[in-house]
Amino acid sequence: MWVNKNKKKILRAVEKFGTPLYIYSEENLLKQIAEYKKAFRGIDVLFCYALKANSNRHLCSLIAGRGFGADVVSGGELRAALSSGFRPEKIIFSGVGKTEEELALALRKNIFFINVESFEELEKLDETASRLGKRADFSIRINPDVDPHTHNYIATGKSGSKFGVDFEEASRMYSWARKRVRLNAVSAHFHLGSQLFSPVPYRKAFKKLLKFVSSLEKSGINLKSLDIGGGWGVKEGLDMGSPAVIAEIIRPYAGKYSFIMEPGRSVTASSGILAARALYRKTSGKRNIVILDAAMNDFIRPSLYGASHPVLNLSGGKGKKVRADIAGPVCESGDFFLKDFKTVLPERGDVLVILSAGAYGYSMSSNYNLRPKPAEVLLKKSGVRLIRKRQSYPEII
């Protein structure tokens, strides 16, 4: 685990840049990227990193530099992807509510394809492409109705969700698009949800997709690539498990199609931590409570999904263990990192780090309670580099 190996560097970064502070390991990030490449060796696959997990420009540049493309879901992310060096022909654009301005931007930038999520969006895309005199390369996001067995808020591939369209609607859309000169179908896509730890849902959905694509082929619609989405899970406190089990599902079709995969969390989660200091201790009834200087506005996953991210005390933590709630200063009872956590009671000023905060950490942070967003630093072999400044009060007031 890179955190234990880099304890001194982390503590020095905290001294220099203050807390709360997001700290990332370059070495660990490159390791996850290498893991993906190794697992899919021999398959024509484009990894489109889902920027929503972490869109820091410096991290994105590292990922783009290793040949990855990008999966974006807004005009903001599209701009961020381009400015971090992702090549336009490796960028795909998903999302249920793209505005005309966003569609136009994607067309003007000649990205790989737009992942269309409804018939009405397809009509809007056709209209926008005609207005701009451009060809719109598109894919359709299909909802394959497969249960991803994950938290409800991050499950997307079941019937009834707002994402994608069912196979019948997708079929009508591809057929309609065939008659439109501006529209060019290049792919079909599914994304089942996030925090998937088993290949089984991928296998089920992929089987359905193959059946669908071969029925399209019979009617003369030939798609070159298939997009199997992201979602590969990361257990809090650990690196991702090998994605080779997913590669093996598609490998038999490697000669026939090219593939796209859209990993987000699994690329960055384990490479980031959120460092905070213990401010105060108190008791409430029988409970010990430790208040940190980081809060749900900095890292919302425990509050929003009940996610249990391990917390380590890097300053000491020797002595008798007690049970304590680790909470933040925000005025909500939902503002906590861990409940009833068995730990040595931290001293005031101790540095605690929340693990696996590299994905959906900073990118979901907010200014709630008018708290400035934290700074971000990157640990490199050559030293520590500030990759985003802490927000200042004038910026947020």
Q: Indicate which residues carry an active-site annotation.
A: 331
**Contact pattern from residue 186 through residue 215 relative to ligand LLP, giving x for each residue in contact according to CB under 6 A and a dash for the rest:** -----x--xx--------------------
Helix (H, G, I), strand (E, B) or coil at 151: coil
Sites for ligand LLP among residues 320-379 (CB under 6 A) = 360, 364
Nearest residue (beta carbon) to ligand LLP = 264
Residues touching ligand LLP, count (CB under 6 A): 22
Beta carbon of residue 240, minimum distance to ligand LLP (angstroms, whole number) = 9
Distances (CA, A) of 385 to 274, 362, 381, 382: 16, 17, 10, 9
With contacts defined by CB under 6 A, name the span among 47-55, 96-104, 198-206, 318-326 that binds ligand LLP.
47-55
Q: Taking the CB of residue 367, how many other CB atoms lie within 10 A of it?
A: 13
Inter-CA distances, 175 with 98, 172, 246, 258, Å: 22, 5, 30, 22
Alpha-carbon distance 336 to 354, whole Å? 12
> Site residues for ligand LLP, window 55-94 (CB under 6 A)?
71, 94
Can you tell me which of 43, 154, 244, 345 binds ligand LLP, judged by CB under 6 A? 154
Q: How far is the CB of 133 from ligand LLP (least distance, A)?
A: 29
| Nearest approach, Cβ of residue 371 and ligand LLP (Å) | 19
Task: Give the one residue of 176, 197, 253, 305 binding ligand LLP; rule: CB under 6 A.
Answer: 305
Smallest distance, Å, CB 317 to ligand LLP?
27
Pick the closer one to ligand LLP by CB: 75 or 229: 229
User: Per CB under 6 A, which region of 10-18, 29-37, 56-64, 223-231 contacts ligand LLP?
Assistant: 223-231
Site for ligand LLP in 6-45 (CB under 6 A): none
β-strands 183-189, 336-344: how paired?
unpaired
Residues in the chain: 397
| Residue 396 C-beta: closest distance to ligand LLP, Å | 22
H-helix or E-strand containing 76?
helix 75-83
* 276 vs 14: CA distance, rounded Å: 8
| Amino acid at the residue 304 | L
When the beta carbons of 17 and 190 are compared against ligand LLP, the nearer one is 190
Residues 228-267, mask of contacts with ligand LLP (x by CB under 6 A): -xxxx-----------------------------xxxxx-
Contacts of 366 (CB under 8 A, 6+ apart): 297, 300, 373
- Using rule CB under 6 A, residue 107 touches ligand LLP: no
Shortest distance, CB of residue 148 to ligand LLP, whole angstroms? 10
Token pair 């109705």 is at which residue? 145
Q: What is d(CA 290, CA 283) in angstroms, rounded to the nearest whole number?
A: 9
List Cα–Cα distances, 179 to 120, 130, 185, 373, in angstroms: 16, 13, 11, 49
| Nearer residue to ligand LLP within complex by CB, 233 or 346 | 233
∠ CA 257-136-208, nearest 5°, is 35
Binding residues among 264-293 for ligand LLP as defined by CB under 6 A: 264-266
CA distances from 140 to 19, 76, 103, 294 (A): 43, 22, 15, 40
Residues that bind ligand LLP (CB under 6 A): 50, 52-53, 71, 94, 154, 191, 194-195, 229-232, 262-266, 301, 305, 360, 364
